[in-house]
Amino acid sequence: MKKLFIAALCVASITSVRSQVYVQGGLNLANISTTSSGQTEDNKTLTTFNAGILSRFGLSHMIDLESGILLSGKGSKAETFFTGSTDDNYIKTKFNPLYIEVPLNLVVKVPLEKTTNVFFYGGPYAAVGIAGKSKTESSIFGLKGTSESDVKFSNDDPSTSQQEDAAYDKLKRFDFGLNVGAGLDLKKVLIKFNYGYGLTKINSTQSNNSADDKNKYRIASVSLGIPLN
């Protein structure tokens, strides 16, 4: 996984004379899967952000490659109620880890007119956790409490079956998955809609990524890109 991330960083650093470089910023609607089929039932979406710089390499008018470096917020909000009441006997948790993410997308462009095109894209991403916060609010028999802590990352390699430095209060440092999206290129601005489908279990005690699709990131995002050249 570390080698994959380093390779992706190298790809992201390559530019050409014909490349289009743009800064990107936008809204992430983050969640984690809670079912074996990969759905996010019973979890609440966490609103966070993405920001960074990306480049398209100018391969042709129709086909291109896109890569770069993004700071991306992930996580979820989970609520557990122990009785029928929503006013007491509950635990609410919000965790918002931040990742440096490197996507590598194949882009297909469909021209609409001289200065506008629709594009579709998809490809893998690699990410490494760098920071974040976790907040918990509880109320048990009327006794309320709150706590906040920094997100801790283990160095567990998600591509192996071993558990390195596993603990229930830690997330895996490395994440990888697939992006799929579409957008509109107006030349002066790019409008992008993306869905990130995580393939890595986020909990550091879970090493078998193929056992089911629980505890994996699911992120819908909308972003604006502004070309620099």
- Mean pLDDT in residue range 151-168: 61
Q: DSSP letters along 108-160, please?
A: EEEEEETTEEEEEEEEEEEEEEEEEEEEEEEEETTEEEEEEEE-EEE---TTS
- Mean pLDDT in residue range 169-184: 91
pLDDT at 166: 47
What whole-number percentage of the chain has pLDDT above 70? 83
Residue 57 in contact with residue 15, Cβ under 8 Å?
yes
Confidence of residue 214 (pLDDT cuts 50, 70, 90): confident
**pTM more than 0.85:** no
Higher pLDDT residue, 209 or 206?
209
- Mean pLDDT in residue range 44-70: 94
Residue 199 has pLDDT above 50, yes or no: yes
pLDDT at 135: 87
Higher pLDDT residue, 170 or 158?
170
CATH 2.40.160.20 fits 2-74+99-128+154-227, yes or no: yes
Distance (Å, whole) CA 210 – CA 189? 39
Higher pLDDT residue, 130 or 4?
130
Residue 176 in contact with residue 126, Cβ under 8 Å?
yes
pLDDT digits (tens, 9 = 90+) for 4-47: 455 555 555 554 446 889 999 999 999 998 878 777 666 789 99
Q: What is the DSSP letter of 14?
A: -
pLDDT at 207: 66
Domain ranges of the chain: 2-74+99-128+154-227
- Mean pLDDT in residue range 89-96: 84
Residue 167 has pLDDT above 60, yes or no: no
Strand partners, 22: 54, 227
